[in-house]
Amino acid sequence: MIRRLALLGLLAFTPLAARAEDPLHLRFSSGPKELKRARKALDKWLRAHAKREFPAKTRAISLNQAISRAQLGLLDMRDAVAAQKSPAPERSAKAPPEAPCSSLESCPSRIGAVHAEGVSGLSEAIVAVVQPWLLLQHRRGGGVSLRTDAGDPGTLATITLDGLVAMPVDICVSPAPMGGSQVWLRSAADLDDIYAFSREEVLHPSRPQ
């Protein structure tokens, strides 16, 4: 109880991730050091979940890939079963092809699908697709919340963007044609338009008439 009261008393940017299973809440007040602290909190949160939920999701993706290839006559079904029991060893982590934007000015559009290799690659890809929204919410003084989805193998987590999108946005993962997986955002809302309009509003606010 005392700990919860202490957390509620924190002002400005407040990452709340006491336990690995807790959602991550990032609240911004446009302070100069908030983005760095937000990235550290996000990295820590992702590392915890990469050890727990992400391996099972990666195995499910590997199995789906193997079954699809088998249906096309590229593999024997025994390979599909082997993929479920003994997934290929994880490759060393690689930086995603599209590096996360370093500033809102240098990020004219949101990051689309990012390729990932292995479990570590999933964490890097999530950072890449989330980074533009962190930059935008920081400048707006808004908030970002992330929660993992332990059910659907195709959904790694959901992200809530306070004041931007009315509903949570799914952070999805799907098999990549040449191996590995693709990480991308799914929403009923038009994320491209929302990002572009909100970024323009922040960088070039209209002058009063």
CB 122 within 8 A of CB 181: yes
Residue 19 has pLDDT above 90, yes or no: no
192 SS3 class:
helix
Q: What is the pLDDT of residue 3?
A: 44
Q: What is the pLDDT of residue 155?
A: 87
Please, what are the domains in the chain? 22-50+91-203 (3.30.565)
SS3 letters across 70-103: HHCCCCCHHHHHHHHHCCCCCCCCCCCCCCCCCC
Q: What is the pLDDT of residues 103-161, one digit of tens each?
A: 999 999 999 999 988 777 888 999 999 999 999 999 999 999 999 876 677 888 999 99
Residue range 90-99: mean pLDDT, rounded: 41
Q: How sure is the predictor about 72, in pLDDT bands with cuts at 50, 70 and 90?
A: low
- Average pLDDT over the chain reads 76
User: pTM of the predicted model, to two decimals?
Assistant: 0.72
Whole-Å CA distances, 88 to 49, 55, 116, 120, 179: 20, 12, 14, 14, 11
